[in-house]
Chain A
């Protein structure tokens, strides 16, 4: 197994407050790796550090063996990293399909010249992009929204749409920030199925999630953090029996 993400001695301070402190862990290729912890534990901050939205105060993050500290999100995307957000980031000025097609941005070779004159090469590429995006929409279960404006879609559908957009980039690693938040039981079950299918295709998945049932069910490994520090790491079984975790979750 090759290591996809390796984090060493990661620190993030906001005006003297430690949001993340001395965090170390690694995610292997093809795993479903979840990060859990109480509210305000620093889960989303960790995601923002890995995906380049924040720069660490100290520490090292490598992606496929390459150091990616301080790299912009768009350059990380070029290296196969894609993500979704707790506060969904959907382009409401576009249709659902266009949002997914946007996900294939890096796969498209057309340039200013072919765009201005709408040359045949561009049309071929756009057709392929549209087909692939429709497939992905069907794959995540929002095939019926192809011609819908994003602004007219329901919350649950938008959540799936955001995953479709991330998948459109053919990522090697996909980070999902609270994908089940706000979903009902059926929707969560569908989501679990979807994450499994994505992982089966060889995509490494990192997950921040509150829904314990979901997390315990699908994760290969879990990282528990509290106050920005590692509390425990291991398989769902190990985590379930870890006294520190039990204390943190039950003893408060």
Chain B
């Protein structure tokens, strides 16, 4: 009984950590520009598929991963420069459609370049499972959790300790004020997209050995990340992490105890419930309507 529960919990936390990273990616871009980037999932796809492709060229895994992550960052920056920046005064609906268009475009290109097949990325450190309390823990899960934790800590340090990090935070709070004190907001926005792509692609490549990877995995991951971010409260880093883990665990429990077909339905019902009762998510700040 307990070992079963533990097994679902491990699975849930592992996938939840991935959702949390996607949600963090959303949060960074949302904070810097108030855009919900529906192409966020494509960064994960590029991370996984890119690694597969570069390894296919005979490049060792470690360098293949770095190249894939770099590629994702380039795509992220290009997305900001070429698609978001030109649509300066667009309203919410338009921006959503632009990022959805970008997501479809990236997916389309990936399909042409890398094909439609599903691929497996080898685990980072062998596939010897670890036994713990009667449950089996995939060694790759430890990589996901470890890298996730390192990234979260690095992000916290980046936003609180470095000048660039503070500049991004400042821009998110008040664009005009940031410009007045000399922050180059265009630069900051590019950085935010690049950083978000970095998070996404690292998450994508670390989770790929567990979940497989293909050109079209991005959209569902993006939506789950969006659910996690909205559940935590858009713009809240803590909310994104908690929302992601919570979503992963609830999904794994539903799949284990109720029905694996309905695990996605549970994720989406959960976000509806959260929004019904807490319209700004679990950790979202309250804002006063100005008239």
Contact = CB atoms under 8 A, between A and B. Distances in A.
B153 interface: no
Contacts of A53: 289, 291
Nearest to A48: B291
Interface of B: 288-289, 291
Interface in A36-90: 44, 48, 53-54, 85, 87, 89
9 contacts: A14-B288, A44-B291, A48-B291, A53-B289, A53-B291, A54-B288, A85-B291, A87-B291, A89-B291
Contacts of B291: 44, 48, 53, 85, 87, 89
Interface of A: 14, 44, 48, 53-54, 85, 87, 89
Contacts of B289: 53
Contacts of A89: 291
Contacts of A44: 291
A53 B289 CA distance: 8
For the residues of B in contact with A, the DSSP-based class is loop
Nearest to A177: B291
A54 B291 CA distance: 10
B280 to A, nearest CB: 16
B31 to A, nearest CB: 21
Contacts of B288: 14, 54
4 closest residue pairs by CB, A with B: A53-B291, A48-B291, A85-B291, A14-B288
A48 B289 CA distance: 10
A86 to B, nearest CB: 8
Nearest to A44: B291
Nearest to A86: B291
Nearest to B291: A53
Nearest to B290: A87
A14 B289 CA distance: 12
A85 to B, nearest CB: 6
A76 to B, nearest CB: 14
A89 B290 CA distance: 12
A53 B291 CA distance: 8
Contacts of A14: 288
Nearest to B289: A53
A89 B288 CA distance: 17
B173 to A, nearest CB: 16
Nearest to A47: B291
Nearest to B286: A15
B288 to A, nearest CB: 7
Contacts of A87: 291
A249 to B, nearest CB: 27
A71 to B, nearest CB: 16
B91 to A, nearest CB: 12
Nearest to A73: B291
A98 B289 CA distance: 26
A197 B2 CA distance: 79
A89 B289 CA distance: 14
Nearest to A54: B288
